[in-house]
Every structure is written in structure tokens, then in C-alpha cells.
A and B are shown apart, each in its own frame.
Chain A
């Protein structure tokens, strides 16, 4: 195993994924270094969400290798069955290093906001409860919803729920954060408050992989932009390069549609 300090935060080689006969990802390879903010763009159906979901094994790839800070997911496959994670302990460890923020928040509706934040740290990571509560309160303060800590998710606006979900992801003390279209389910006037939290996270040097339709975020905040089309990476460069001088005809069409 590579030295974790030198290894890329995320390294993907030869990733393939199909749903039945439909091939979503064709041999994707990419690596992201610590502190990079990678925006993943693409039309719907391009495979960008599937790519992100493979990184914490919500989708198990058919082929290829994924490693988090130098540690590769161990997969196993019985003939005739879909591949699956071979080592539950490793799966748990890697999943808590790369936490996911979902498009539809997916906060646990029977728990208060504070309870949502401490749930996995206490019951999965087995950390001390009082310490988790103190940390969770600081995180809620940071995303600006400390006053909502005893509310249930149903009584928060979409933007507040997504900020709570980001705080829940941070409460795991992850090394990498995965965002799956975090603003796509929000009313336009609530998008800004979520993007502000994400900009702050990027500014403090967190490693982030963000599937998004927010061109402004991709252009201004990310250090790298990927463009996926039909399961292949068509652009992979610094944002100023990609936006001002795109190589892919598909990407030109894509941004002209988004700017229109």
C-alpha cells in the first residue's frame, strides 16, 4: 500500500459500470489530490452521479479500482452475481472518510437536527457522545443554523436542511466530501446560502468532489472541472482553461445551453 500522505485523495482507474445492457461508465480514470475541489459537469444521464456514488460504494463498480488516500476498496464477486464490497469493516472506514451530501438532503426525519449530526459519529464511529454533541453544535453554528438544533428536518426550509446535511457530513470528520447535485432540489433563492457554505469549505482547503449544474461555482470555486459525456471524461482541466478554451464540442453546446 502506498504511503497515505503521498497518495492522491481519490484515485480511480479503469472504472466501469453498467445497468443491465446500458453502459453508464466506460473505463473512467482520474485522480484528485488533497485540497482539490473538482466540479463534475455533464448532462443528465452522462454518468456523473454514478461516478460519484461509486466513490463511496453506493454503486458497486463492475470493474476498476477506487482508492481513498491510498487504500483501495476490496471487492468480491461470485460468478453470476454483481460485485460487492468484500470487507465490511473497510467499507465502513472508507465510507466515513468520504462522506456524501445528497441532492434531496436525506436527513433522518425521526431525529432532530442535532441528533442527525451525532447519529453516525456515536453509533458508527463509536465516539464519545458529549464530545460529538459539542462538535455538532460548533458545526451548526458554522453553517448558521445553531438555533434549529432541536427542530426536526420537516420544519426547516430546503436550504437549512441542506446546510444541516453538510454539517452532518462534516461531523464524520471526513477527509473527502462528495456532493451529489447539492443545490438542484432547492428554490432559486435558497441556492446561495448552500453555495456560500460550500465556498467556505473549499476556502479552508477541503478535498471536494462536486456534481453540479452551478456553472458559477464550477468556474469560480473549483480548482478543476471535469465534463462527462456518455460515460467518458471529455474535459479535465483548470476551470479557466475549460471554460475559455474547451476541447470538446459537446461541452461547448452544454455551456451555451446553460448560459442561455
Chain B
């Protein structure tokens, strides 16, 4: 029979891995997003070499397993003595930064395509109208393209963030003691994988429940233009 009190115990113990799981997720999603914006801009560039470079990047990082990328960075980069002399080495000798680096590079490839799709979904006529009314460059992006692209890409991007929460589990393979790393350690001490993995699974489920709720809230707030007008007499609006 399943031992509920033991699952509960395991759950409580594994909770101490949540901060590291969230940290890896947050660092890689944030830095991955910055890189993704640059890659999306390259993909949308009218200068072919930039587009090609971004295509190659995306092809490689989407086409190979994240675990392979993680191993190559963690085990592979230290093979190059030149790298040990650069400013990157203090980071890359740490398993934590290797994991964050691999996750960020990987999510950037997927997110770049999500951003590109969002930008392309903005109707050409609205961009043309903005140009006809004197907007260009950053004003055009900030006022017209970004708000609409963001709304379009949210469902796809929430998928990506949820995948990232789960992908942090791979960091356990390079000594990180996040939720899955702690679970593995606990299993080797107790030999009770079923209960412990149930507890670990429950934690990821909980985290992703929160993530998906946050995205849903965000989506709701950005989609006023899609909702039917609400007659708010109390607010004094004659809309």
C-alpha cells in the first residue's frame, strides 16, 4: 500500500529544493528572453546574413536534446584551456551557472520563434497606419507592435515557461540539489522511489499550477480589446 505519511514527509523534505528550482527557472527564463528578443529581431531583419545566423542557432538548439547541451557545456567546455583564462570561467566551472546557461540558450531558441510569430501577427495595415501617422523605430515598436505581439504570444510563451520549470529537473544530473536532485538523494537513502517521485511530481504540478494561473491573469488583463464592452455605470463611463 502507498504510505501517505511517508509521501508527506518526502514532500516536506523536497520542498527545500524549490528555491533552487525556481532560481534556475527565473534566471534562465529572464536571460533567455533577452537573447530571444535579439534572435527574433535577427530573424525579422531584412539583412539575410543576420537571419541566417539566427536560423542556424535555432536549428541547433531546437534540434538537439537539452540534456546533451547541458553535458556539452558542463563536461565539454572545461576541455578548452583557453576558456579557463577568460572572464567566463568563474561562471562556467560552477554547475549552477552551467545549468542556467544551458537552459537559457535552449529556451531562447524556442522563445525567439514565439516572439517572431507574435510580431508577424500584428496586422500590416495597423503598422502602415502607424507609419502614415509619423511613427517609426522604437515608438512604433513600443506603442503599436509590442502590445499586440505580447498578447498574441502569451499562450505559446506560457507553454515554454512551464516546460522550463520541468526542464530544471535535468540540472540534477550535474549535481544540482533542486527538487529532483533531492529526490534522487532521498531515494538512495530510503530505496522508496515511488512515494518520493510522487511527492516530487506533486511539487512540479503545484509550481506549474501557479505559473499557468499567473499567465492566465496576465492574458486576461491584456485582452480587454477582445472582450465585449461592459457597461460600467458605477464608474460613470457611458461606454
CB B235 to nearest CB in A, in angstroms, measures: 10
- Contact B147–A110 (Cβ < 8 Å): yes
Tally of contact residues, A, Cβ under 8 A: 33
Contact with A along B127-157 (1 / 0, CB 8 A): 0111111111001000110011001000000
Residues of B within 8 A of A104 (CB): 125
Q: Nearest residue in A to B150 (C-beta to C-beta)? A: A110
**In the bound complex, CA of A188 to CA of B58 (Å):** 49
What A residues does B130 contact at CB under 8 A?
A: 108, 120
Report which of A123, A147, A150 forms a contact with B139, defined as CB distance below 8 A.
A123
Query: Is B126 within 8 A of A109, CB to CB?
Result: yes
Which A96-129 residues sit within 8 Å CB-CB of chain B? 96, 99-100, 102, 104, 106-111, 119-120, 123-125
Question: A152 at the A/B interface (Cβ < 8 Å)?
Answer: yes
Least distance between A149 CB and chain B CB atoms (Å)? 7
Listed A/B pairs (26) with beta-carbon separation below 8 Å: A56-B132, A58-B128, A58-B132, A88-B136, A91-B134, A102-B125, A104-B125, A107-B126, A107-B129, A110-B147, A110-B148, A110-B225, A119-B133, A120-B130, A123-B143, A124-B133, A147-B239, A149-B239, A150-B237, A150-B239, A151-B229, A152-B224, A152-B225, A154-B225, A155-B229, A172-B133
Q: Is A92 an interface residue (CB 8 A)?
A: yes
Spell out A's residues near B (CB within 8 Å): 56, 58, 88, 91-92, 95-96, 99-100, 102, 104, 106-111, 119-120, 123-125, 147-155, 168, 172
New A-B contacts (10) at CB < 8 Å, excluding given A123-B139, A147-B239: A56-B132, A88-B136, A92-B134, A92-B136, A95-B133, A100-B129, A106-B128, A108-B126, A110-B225, A152-B229
Report Cα–Cα, A154/B227, bound state, in Å.
Answer: 9
CA A149 – CA B229 in complex, angstroms?
Answer: 11
Q: B238, A96: Cβ atoms under 8 Å? A: no
CB–CB B151/A110 < 8 A: yes
Task: Please give, as numbers and ranges, the residues of chain A lying within 8 Å of B76 by CB-CB distance.
Answer: none
Q: Min CB distance, A151 to chain B, in Å?
A: 5
Q: A147-B238, A152-B224 are in contact. Are A119 and B143 (CB under 8 A)?
A: yes
CA distance A106 to B151 in the complex (A): 18
User: B228 at interface (Cβ–Cβ under 8 A)?
Assistant: yes
Residues in A neighbouring B63, C-beta threshold 8 A: none
Interface residues in B, total, Cβ within 8 A? 26
Complex Cα gap A96–B238 (Å): 31
Interface string of B213-235 (1 = CB under 8 A from A): 00000000000111011000000
Sorted from nearest, which 6 A-B pairs have the closest CB atoms? A150-B239, A106-B129, A120-B133, A124-B134, A152-B225, A106-B125
Taking the closest CB of chain B, its distance from the CB of A228, in whole angstroms, is: 21
Cα distance A108–B147 when bound, in Å?
11
A100 CA to B151 CA in the complex, in Å?
27
B123 interfacial by beta-carbon distance below 8 Å: yes
Q: How far is the CA of A204 from the CA of B237 in the complex (A)?
A: 32
| A residues less than 8 Å from B226 (CB atoms) | 152, 154
CA distance A119 to B130 in the complex (A): 9
- Asked if residues A102 and B129 are in contact (CB atoms below 8 Å), the reply is yes
Chain B, Cβ-Cβ closest to A165: B129
Question: How many Å from the CB of B131 to the closest CB on chain A?
Answer: 7
Choose among B131, B225, B226 the residue with the greatest number of A CB atoms under 10 Å from its CB. Answer: B225
User: Please, which residues of chain B bring their CB within 8 A of the CB of A123?
Assistant: 135, 139, 143
| A107 neighbours in B (Cβ, 8 Å) | 126, 129
